[in-house]
Amino acid sequence: MKKIIVNFLFLAFCAFVLILSLRGIGGNPTYETLNSSDLKEEGPLELSPERGRFALTYSIIEDKSFQFSLPVAKFVIPDLGYQDGRYVSLFDPGVSLLTIPGYIIGKYFDASQVGSFAIIGLFAIANALLVRSIAKKLGANPIASSLAALIFLFGTPAFAYAVTLYQHNVTVFLMLLSVYLLLKWKGILPLFFVWFLVVGSLIVDYPNFFLFLPIGLYALGRVFPIEDIGNTIRLNIKILGLVSFVTILIPVSLFLWVHKVSYGNPLQLAGNVRSVKDFDENGNPLFREDILRRAGQEVVETPDSGDKTSIGFFKTRNMLSSLYIHLISNERGVLWFTPVILVGIFGISYLYKKRPGFTSLLLALLGSNVFLYAMWGDFWGGWAFGSRYLIPAYAVMSIFLAIALTEFKRKIFFLIIFLVLTTYSVSVNTLGALTTNRVPPKVEAVALEKVSGRKEHYTYLRNWEFLMANKSKSFIYQTFANDYVTAPQYYYIVSCSIIFVMSGQIAYMYLKARKES
């Protein structure tokens, strides 16, 4: 009974904070309101990835089509695809399909956009549960596991992307669920589900092909186990393991069907579709070369002006600059946005001593995530809050963090430093969740200053400036709370609530450990 109550309180707290933070405005968007600033620049659909995914959900429900009508196409600009005379999405369709139930339920309550965003919040809560469960399975203290899960959910940029319409929390859910299944059950049985999740992840985000490779290789080890017998090595084949591959037919069929109805070709990838940059006065599409000609500039052939390639966006020469941006810089760096997650480094060696095989899998996932996006063309992630590309890495590091807390739960000095880092990280990421993700990279902010004539922040100071203007994109704040508290006061209420609960857990874990020793 105690375990049920603890689990319920954990779930209730996560849901409570996410409900307070969920971005949105009331009403069901129509053709007439889609392109309003209240919904776009000043509203919850402030960036093109959110608009592109919401537009596809909107079109599927309202227009019964995977292609966009002209009003919806104008809403999606500048990330709009054009294929065989039709306007199509440039984003993988998985998130749009998953948010359909939320859109329908939200529409019933005159809040279809809020309902769509809420689906991502559910995945974020599931991720916290999975971090907690995996950490406990690997031997972490239950309180340490809960703390690590809350750190991932509210102390990293995963928070800012749990209250809006991005793919990252869905990707993390598929990754963690695969890891959990492989950890909980031995043998072949979990593979029937793991292959489905691994291949299905491609519908959510194409780069998941590389991110999920370590899981696929680890799972293959159960299909083709290797035995070391004396001086010989024997490769076995599990027949039932081969049979388990049948489950990939479900996501593969869905993948092919969705791309067929979207682009007319089941093998056509969204990222390879030609993109529309704007419309002329007659509503005709303008491509990159058209924009350049209108500006009197020379047209130079680029991948965007013709056929794109699936791997053309990867550039190894980006790696050093990208690693600096993701890990150290004040633009997106882990050191500035979520330093508490780095405490997980202390847990790696302890876990490796107990579970070397599984630790290697987690480190491989961590490495594939970091180096995949270190070679990404736009390694800033566009206008973004923190390093959104490293959200899967934050989840893995949270598991190591639980192990570190378990090992050092009696060390008061360690816990004090951890509490300070927790307070800082939660404060920064709650700020991001309640305000905006429209934070430009430094190179764009500097150029923007010449146009705006004012200081353009490219760190979370931009979020602070947004908050100090008494603005928040929280649906609850805008709909109910703004008559009673200011936006900064609302921020303090939410962030202090999280910090208070986590501080209590840290104190309880320490006192309990001292009592048991």
Domain ranges of the chain: 2-273+308-516
C-alpha 178/C-alpha 213 separation (Å) is 12
Q: What is the pLDDT of residue 306?
A: 44
- Interhelix angle 191-204/249-263, rounded to 10 degrees, is 20
Q: What is the pLDDT of residue 294?
A: 63
C-alpha 108/C-alpha 118 separation (Å) is 14
pLDDT over 50 (residue 480): yes
Question: Higher pLDDT residue, 432 or 231?
Answer: 432
Q: What is the pLDDT of residue 296?
A: 63
pLDDT mean over 297-303: 54
User: With pLDDT > 90 as the criterion, what percentage of the chain qualifies?
Assistant: 74
Lowest mean pLDDT among 115-124, 210-219, 340-349, 370-379: 370-379
pLDDT over 80 (residue 315): no
Residue whose structure tokens are 């490769």: 235
Lowest mean pLDDT among 87-91, 191-195, 277-281, 488-492: 277-281
pLDDT mean over 66-79: 91
pLDDT mean over 57-86: 92
Take residue 392 and report the two structure tokens written for it: 């899967």
C-alpha 512/C-alpha 273 separation (Å) is 58
Take residue 264 and report the two structure tokens written for it: 């007319």
pLDDT over 70 (residue 303): no
Question: Higher pLDDT residue, 84 or 413?
Answer: 413
pLDDT of 370-404, one tens digit each?
A: 999 988 878 888 999 999 999 999 999 999 999 99
Take residue 109 and report the two structure tokens written for it: 């309550």
228 band by pLDDT with thresholds 50, 70 and 90: low
pLDDT mean over 272-281: 83
User: With pLDDT > 70 as the criterion, what percentage of the chain qualifies?
Assistant: 93
428 band by pLDDT with thresholds 50, 70 and 90: very high
305 band by pLDDT with thresholds 50, 70 and 90: very low
With beta carbons less than 8 A apart as the criterion, state whether 14 and 125 touch: yes
294 exposure class (CB count in 10 Å sphere: 0-12, 13-18, 19+): exposed
Instruction: For residue 44, give the nearest of 468, 504, 436, 517 by alpha carbon.
Output: 436
Q: What is the pLDDT of residue 466?
A: 97
84 band by pLDDT with thresholds 50, 70 and 90: confident
C-alpha 486/C-alpha 382 separation (Å) is 30
Q: What is the pLDDT of residue 281?
A: 75
Q: What is the pLDDT of residue 301?
A: 53
C-alpha 343/C-alpha 397 separation (Å) is 8
pLDDT of 21-49, one tens digit each?
A: 999 999 999 988 898 888 988 899 999 89
Contacts of 229 (CB under 8 A, 6+ apart): none
- For residue 409, give the amino acid letter: K
pLDDT of 116-144, one tens digit each?
A: 999 999 999 999 999 999 999 999 999 99
Give 213-219's long-range contacts (Cβ < 8 A, gap of 24+). 213/368, 214/361, 214/364, 214/365, 214/368, 215/175, 215/178, 215/179, 215/182, 215/361, 215/365, 217/364, 218/182, 218/361, 218/364, 219/178, 219/182, 219/191, 219/194, 219/195
Task: Give me the chain's average pLDDT, please.
Answer: 91
Q: What is the pLDDT of residue 379?
A: 82
pLDDT of 445-467, one tens digit each?
A: 999 998 888 999 999 999 999 99
pLDDT mean over 152-162: 98
pLDDT mean over 356-370: 96
Q: What is the pLDDT of residue 285?
A: 85
